[in-house]
Amino acid sequence: MSSDSPPTLASLAQALAAGRTSSRALVAECLERIADKQGEGARTFLKVHAAQALATAEFHDQMRRHGAASSPYAGIPISVKDLFDIAGDTTTSASAVLRDAPAAQLDCPAVARVKAAGFVVIGRTNMTEFAFSGLGLNPHYGTPLNPWDRATGRIPGGSSSGAAVSVTDRMAFGALGTDTGGSCRIPAALCGIVGYKPTAHRVPKSGVFPLSSTLDSVGPLARSVACCRALDGVLSGDIPSAALQELASGGVDRHSAAAVRGLRLGVLTSYVMDGLAPQVAADYQRALRALSTAGASLTDVDVPELGELPGLNRKGGIAAAEAYAVHRTRLNSDASRYDPRVANRIMRAREQDAADYIELLHARVAFIERVSRRLIDFDAVVMPTVPVSAPALSELSADDVYVRTNALILRNSSVVNFLDGCAISLPCHEPGTAPVGLTLFGLRDADERLWPVAAAVEQCLL
């Protein structure tokens, strides 16, 4: 089903229902793109489930012919980040350390849910080793290049690097990723698609290799808000079947019924605006003007507490401490098999003791309470997803530059994880220019409030 306009999950569902395409044709199309020697398939996928995907596609085509499709999306290929257990596969977390680990016995709940809804897992995508970087580099398996300006060789963003590239290059029509400090939203922003981070407890994390049990969340990357809404609904189990059907038909359900007019949007000042690249600043301001012109109420919000975050995380933060608990034994026995840059980030946790970690958890609770009071009255809060556009890989060869760039790229998105909130990144750049993401976020468990806001803002930005 090739066209100049990238298909959405809804358009694919409609084409399947009308018989204009088949699951087998969609899977074959994705496999062809993955295998293209001129493309990024070899660096994007760590494992391709070609035979299983084709067999599953045949099954869904037969079921649909008999009026028994498991959902409107049955037969649509998606990719899965290499943190998720898939029965019969080894979950390597894109590392060399886990290459010889035993295969998973069961699908993790997130994978089981998308399979039950009929999505076809086309393969496992590359990522930053153990998900511990916002840049997307991987020295073991290569780094999939950002689809924008491949001639220069730019980073895809991470840690869900392969997830974003698989969608952007139409090697899959949606992707499962994880987000601990921005790992769904950063690559989505830098590659020009949509990425969603739910409230952390919204989607089960069992069977997903952890980076930080406190901050990790499971979210989708896809072409549109409605695509991410559908995938999140399946992953969380929160969307009724009637609403799923409505989304698949291209209709407007209660989650996307809001209009921009009258929306109360808080616009963060300072901190997240520091060091903005000129193009990012220009695209972001143009997006704000479009929202204001469409009738949204935009209010600048100063949140001085955000300036406390570098100090709170000065010893590596929650993520380093919890990652060190997972990796300490392996690092002590064979640190040489790790990406040195990832190992260094994990080892920063040695600066913390148990009291430091407990104090940080308590400080986080107080931080959330203070910041929530400033933001509670808004329908959503707005900020740039990433302060800069995607740098070239060649710019990151020096370790000190890598560390500074990684910190800058993670800075804005990680605010939401520390707040235990939910967030979505939408493209807001001019066509043909470097992708730039606009973030909308809400507080803990505001997911259902955020979806209609995101759908309305998306329409305003198109």
Torsion region of 316: left, alpha or beta (phi above 0 gives left; psi -120 to 50 gives alpha): left
What percentage of the chain carries pLDDT values higher than 90?
93
Q: What is the pLDDT of residue 292?
A: 97
pLDDT-derived band of residue 1, with 50, 70 and 90 as boundaries? very low
pTM exceeds cut of 0.75: yes
Residue range 220-237: mean pLDDT, rounded = 97
In a domain, 69, yes or no: yes
Q: What is the pLDDT of residues 161-206, one digit of tens each?
A: 999 999 999 999 999 999 999 999 999 999 999 999 999 999 999 9
Q: How far apart are CA 134 and CA 127, in angstroms?
A: 10
Q: How far apart are CA 432 and CA 411, in angstroms?
A: 26
Q: Are strands 194-197 and 380-384 parallel, antiparallel or unpaired?
A: unpaired
Q: For residue 218, what are the β-bridge partners?
A: 178
Note whether 198 and 183 are within 8 A (CB): no
In a domain, 329, yes or no: no
Residue range 11-39: mean pLDDT, rounded = 97
Q: How far apart are CA 237 and CA 65, in angstroms?
A: 26
For CA atoms 131, 132, 135, 137, the dihedral sign is: negative
427 pLDDT higher than 50 = yes
Q: What is the pLDDT of residue 234?
A: 96
Q: For residue 299, what are the β-bridge partners?
A: 266
Which domain range does residue 141 map to?
Answer: 9-255
Calculate the alpha carbon distances from 96 to 312, 330, 397 in Å: 32, 12, 21
Give SS3 for 377. coil
Looking up tokens 């393969």 gives 123
245 pLDDT higher than 90 = no
Q: What is the pLDDT of residue 241?
A: 78
Q: How far apart are CA 47 and CA 49, in angstroms?
A: 7
Q: What is the pLDDT of residue 196?
A: 98
DSSP-derived letter for residue 384 is E
Q: What is the pLDDT of residue 4?
A: 67
Q: Which residues contact 310 (CB under 8 A, 6 or more apart)?
A: none
The catalytic residue positions are 81, 159, 183
In a domain, 414, yes or no: no
Q: How far apart are CA 96 and CA 91, in angstroms?
A: 11
Neighbours of 8 (CB within 10 A): 21
For residue 87, report the phi and psi dihedrals to the nearest 5 degrees. Answer: -50, 130
DSSP-derived letter for residue 196 is E
Least confident of 16-30, 54-68, 257-271, 305-319: 257-271
Note whether 384 and 436 are within 8 A (CB): yes
Note whether 419 and 381 are within 8 A (CB): no
Note whether 122 and 30 are within 8 A (CB): yes
Give SS3 for 121. strand
Torsion region of 413: left, alpha or beta (phi above 0 gives left; psi -120 to 50 gives alpha): alpha
Looking up tokens 């989607």 gives 203
Note whether 175 and 79 are within 8 A (CB): yes
Residue range 117-136: mean pLDDT, rounded = 98
In a domain, 241, yes or no: yes
Note whether 248 and 14 are within 8 A (CB): yes
Q: How far apart are CA 64 and CA 66, in angstroms?
A: 5
Record the tokens describing residue 135, joined without a space. Answer: 């840049």
In a domain, 27, yes or no: yes
Note whether 144 and 136 are within 8 A (CB): yes
Task: Determine the residue type at 136.
Answer: G
Q: What is the pLDDT of residue 284?
A: 98
Q: Which residues contact 352 (CB under 8 A, 6 or more apart)?
A: 315, 316, 320, 321, 360
Note whether 296 and 411 are within 8 A (CB): no
Render the burial of 33-61: b for 16+ CB within 10 Å, e for the rest: bbeeeebbbbbbbbebbbebbbebbebbb
In a domain, 57, yes or no: yes
Residue range 47-53: mean pLDDT, rounded = 98
107 pLDDT higher than 90 = yes
Record the tokens describing residue 222, joined without a space. Answer: 């896809």
Q: What is the pLDDT of residue 16?
A: 98
Instruction: Read off the CATH number of the domain in which 66 is found.
Output: 3.90.1300.10
Q: What is the pLDDT of residue 253?
A: 43
In a domain, 185, yes or no: yes
C-alpha count within 13 angstroms, C-beta hemisphere, residue 333: 5
The total number of structural domains in the chain stands at: 1
pLDDT-derived band of residue 251, with 50, 70 and 90 as boundaries? low
Give SS3 for 219. strand
Q: How far apart are CA 61 and CA 47, in angstroms?
A: 24
Instruction: Provide the mean pLDDT of the chain.
Output: 96
In a domain, 189, yes or no: yes
Looking up tokens 């974003």 gives 164
Neighbours of 20 (CB within 10 A): 12
Q: How far apart are CA 268 and CA 256, in angstroms?
A: 24
